[in-house]
Amino acid sequence: MNDKKSLNFFKSAYYAIVDFEKYVELMYQKGSKAIKYFFIILLLFSLLISIAGVISIVKFVNGNMDYLQNEFPNFSFADNTLKVESDGPINLTGNNGMNALLIIDTNATEEQVKQYSDEAKVDSDAITIIVLSDKVIVSNLSNSDRALFNLGGLPTTEDNGNTIFKLSDLSAKIGLNSFTKQSVVDYLSSGSMAKIYLELYVFLTIYTFLMYIVGVFGDVIVIAIFAFITSRIYRIKLNFTSCMKISVYALTLPLILKVIYIWINTLTGFVVQYFDYAYITIAYIYVLIGILMIRNDKYLALNGPVKKQEEPEIQEQEFPEEEEKEEKKDEELDDKSKKKEKPKIPKPKVEPEPGKA
């Protein structure tokens, strides 16, 4: 709507969260404003989520330092080959916050590798990482996890549902040709990790932003369809573009709650089982209430969003001075009307002449 003033990001976010009556005004914002709002809120979301991701990695590294230094067997990497001084495979499941199954066996035969891979497929919900002497096999990755490897520029191959990358490619990517257990411990304990964490934060921000553009845009479309159907039920002929704009603003609070939940989960491990359902349900509720506010707006045309003329709100207020003026005017009018009135002259009584009856 052209005669509505343009709202900045923070005012739009405030209206989208706490003032349902302003959804009429948000709907009439330009489509470019809604698109800009969508990208800004996703960028802020990605920045905050990535901080939680880095904190989680820092906790994992610090929580496993003692185990790596005191319990884990010696290992070394040279000539693109990893050697671990262990008589058998090392299985790490849920160790110190690691939410995956890690199998390390640098002496595994082809039959053993196939066995590890088959066992990983039995539990399809858990990511399984199999570290061999020259490569790493990762099972049960989601599409977004595979995209993470591609975004990092690490060459990978797919084999029977498994993602495989060579240690030689990883070594070239990070610029590390050789290392030992002690050098890894020293490096993880040094201040050089701050640079690694910063680079990781930038990488996670870009990755999260790109992934959530796709995911959240899908949510916007689904919610917009719901808004379109709801508007028809209430006999409000909103076009689909308006429904898309309403859906973008309706996702503001759910995204904020998602950031808070991820932070709480990262710091405490607290899990809400049905949070994703609550996330989308809140958006549906906001859309429904927003449409009801639009329905009650007396300026809305049935053919969809059109230009509306601003009408000043008339408020009944008492103005003593104005009332006195009005009373004086009334008195003056009364006086004038009295002066204009001519006095009534009684007609003389005519008596009949004698003899005429």
Residue 96 CB coordination number (10 Å): 15
Residue 310, pLDDT score: 47
Residue 357, pLDDT score: 45
Residue 339, pLDDT score: 54
Rounded CA separation 65/7 (Å): 50
**Of the options 1.10.10, 3.40.1010, 3.10.310, 3.40.630, the CATH number for the domain spanning 80-177:** 3.10.310
Contacts of 100 (CB under 8 A, 6+ apart): 126, 127, 128, 129
Stated as kind and residue range, the H or E segment containing 346 is none
Residue ranges of the chain that CATH labels 3.10.310: 80-177
Contacts of 236 (CB under 8 A, 6+ apart): 291, 294, 295, 300, 302
Residue 307, pLDDT score: 42
Residue 146, pLDDT score: 66
Residue 29 per-residue DSSP state: S
Chain-centroid distance, C-alpha 11:
17
Residue 333, pLDDT score: 61
Residue 140 CB coordination number (10 Å): 19
Q: Which stretches of the chain are assigned E, i.e. beta strand? A: 75-78, 81-84, 90-93, 101-104, 128-131, 135-139, 157-159, 162-166, 179-180
Residues of the chain with pLDDT under 70: 1-4, 94-99, 122-126, 142-153, 297-357
